[in-house]
A and B are shown apart, each in its own frame.
Chain A
Amino acid sequence: MEKTKINITDEVAIHISDMNKWFGNFHVLRDINLEVRRGERIVVCGPSGSGKSTLIRCINRLEEHQKGSIIVDGTELTTDLKNIDKIRSEVGMVFQHFNLFPHLTTLENCTLAPMWVRETPEKEATEIAMEMLEKVKIPEQAHKYPGQLSGGQQQRVAIARSLCMKPRIMLFDEVTSALDPEMIKEVLDTMIELAEDGMTMICVTHEMGFARQVADRVIFMDDGQIVEQNEPEEFFKNPQSDRTKLFLSQILGH
């Protein structure tokens, strides 16, 4: 399958320089430098505990970094709450455990943030929500509660919920790790479709097939550092570092 690369622009979406983060005394992220351009699709992989989830959680300030800078869409992340809320409303995030709001219906999950954060009128928010639910192919579940849906369906609702905010960047944090094998595909298909629409995406995932198919760049992290990054073809064919080779042999070897 041929990848569409025409989407990538020169515009910088995320600029991270010399970023460091500690959990107590534990140095989780060390000197991270990363520039993501608009339309770029990045896959971050690495062994567990390597700091990859923490990295993307820093981008929307679910985690606070202690050194260096993160600039998202031209706004620097500081302790200023207004900046943080603004960035969060433009950066969508999908979680491993879906984190849907169980007391609201699927539709209400999708309309809540647009109505309260963007102050979109209810009618318009509902239209957008239905459009997004159609995009992830579950408009018929709109009036059910998350607890009544399968894992794959819930994760697709979570994607739709983020999309309703019309984000310019999407972060995916191991979104298929908690799913049964037969449901992984439906979620990946949704993500692939999204990637083809030209969304700027950073995906933490172990799905190497997905990385091959849609990523413009694969980043390998270990011990809180970016160890290697490359185009997927090269990354999988000619890994340079020993750690990457070891990781790939473990993950692809069976």
Chain B
Amino acid sequence: MTKIAFVRKKEIPPSAPPITTVGLIGWLRQNLFSSWLNSILTVLSVYFIVIMLWDFIPWAYGGHWNTKSLRECLDLDPDVACFSVLTARWKQLLFGLYPAEEYWRPTLTFIFLLLAIVPILFPKFFRFFWFSIIYPGLAVWLLWGGSFWSISIVYIGLTLGALFFLTLIRRYLKNYMIAAILASLFTAVFFFLISNPLVGFLNAILPISLPFVESLKMGGFTLSLIVGVTGIVASFPIGILLALGRQSNLPVIKMICVGFIEFIRGVPLITLLFVASVLLNYFLPPGTNFDIVLRVVIMVTLFSAAYMAEVIRGGLAGLPLGQHEASASLGLTYWQSQRLIIMPQALKISIPGIVNTFIGLFKDTTLVSIISLRDPVGLASTIRADQKWNGIYWELYVAIGLMFFIFCWGMSQYSQYLERKLKTDK
């Protein structure tokens, strides 16, 4: 029999790992050449990448930028890109039919957009959040023009309504529901009776206005961004409410939310856009001027809100029941626990899905070309109909694709950053 008793007398000190498993060599071995099959795949992939770039780089690098037409390009050198179409038409791709002397307005709106999303994306700058609140009104005024006051009045009305609500709560009432109803009534009265004369008065004493630009003139990436950004911003809160409604214990609310989500998800976006562009007018009283861009934005928003709701519901389902119980046992009310405990965690779980929906929505804005709005894809057809550029494909679509890619890739990068930042388990 062997002896099984053993007592360690000498400690083994920790030592460095073998040289072939660390550093560059270690990395190459582990990731690219770990087996015969892997090595072959690596070599093949490198080969494909090289031959693709072999053709693409000279094509793109040697491209013409300054010819007058596609014909001229082909006469010079048919084997390289003809980017002249972009040189000639880039303003259209960016601004559509927006009047040329007013190009500064969409440009400024875009710069302000970048500034306005900073406080939302990075909490460090949250003190500038007021700008994000002002931005929507500012953007509408800059893009469509008209009187400054008819936009500001919306802000004035809502602010007064909010103040009225707060005063009621602080001074006279305890019941939030009744206060909210009274405040809504107050706001409605303001908008129906007081706002028009007030706008007239303000216009009379201090006329600030920009030339009006109608919605059909909006186009290019300006239009994509109008529809995309508004859709993203509006569909997010609606999606949260729908997700909560779908989980509600109140059968009526639950039924409405389920019905809405299932209906919208079951119908192609194109159909909804057609409804928005053609059919909606039949249902509205004659003579109603319901802006086409607004109609499209509403449809796109509702469409992605339904998807958003399901993504967020996935996040809610991923939370252990214990989180609800713990927050209830501490005495938090339903809304407090949703806001402080449940939603922060559910949204964190759903970040990839939410950003997925955002990206999908942004790219789906190109579908508006079907209802003859002039987004970049719609414009591409218009440009190709011009006999000077008839027959051009690659250069236009590569450029449009690249623009969309920059925005979508940015969103995806931000979502990855956010996921890393919110990681609390390590």
Contact = CB atoms under 8 A, between A and B. Distances in A.
Given A116-B336, A147-B424, A147-B426, A103 B348 contact: yes
A100 B425 CA distance: 12
B424 A97 contact: no
Interface residues of B, number: 22
B333 interface: yes
B14 interface: no
Interface in B135-185: none
Interface in B310-334: 320, 322-323, 325-333
A73 to B, nearest CB: 13
Given A99-B325, A103-B348, A145 B425 contact: yes
A136 interface: no
Contact of A113 (B332, B344, B348, B425): B332
A126 interface: no
B426 to A, nearest CB: 7
Nearest to A96: B322
Most chain-A Cβ atoms within 10 A of its Cβ — which of B330, B341, B348?
Answer: B330
A34 B325 CA distance: 24
Nearest to B333: A85
A122 B291 CA distance: 48
A81 B249 CA distance: 14
Contacts of A92: 329
Contacts of A89: 330-331
Nearest to B339: A116
Interface in B52-98: none
A195 interface: no
Contacts of A162: 329-330
Range, interface on chain A? 20 to 34
B320 A117 contact: no
Interface string A124-165: 000000000000000000000111100000000000011001
A151 to B, nearest CB: 14
Nearest to A100: B326
A62 B325 contact: yes
Contact of B326 (A95, A103, A116, A147): A95
A165 B331 contact: yes
Contacts of A116: 332, 336, 340
Nearest to A81: B333
B345 interface: yes
A243 interface: no
Contacts of B336: 116-117
Contacts of A146: 424
Contacts of A103: 344-345, 348, 422, 424
A145 B426 CA distance: 8
A161 B325 contact: no
Given A145-B425, A147-B425, 17 more contacts: A62-B325, A86-B331, A93-B326, A97-B320, A97-B322, A98-B322, A99-B320, A101-B323, A101-B327, A102-B424, A102-B425, A103-B422, A113-B332, A116-B332, A116-B336, A117-B331, A117-B332
Interface of A: 60, 62, 81, 85-86, 88-93, 95, 97-103, 112-113, 116-117, 145-148, 161-162, 165
Interface of B: 320, 322-323, 325-333, 336, 340-341, 344-345, 348, 422, 424-426
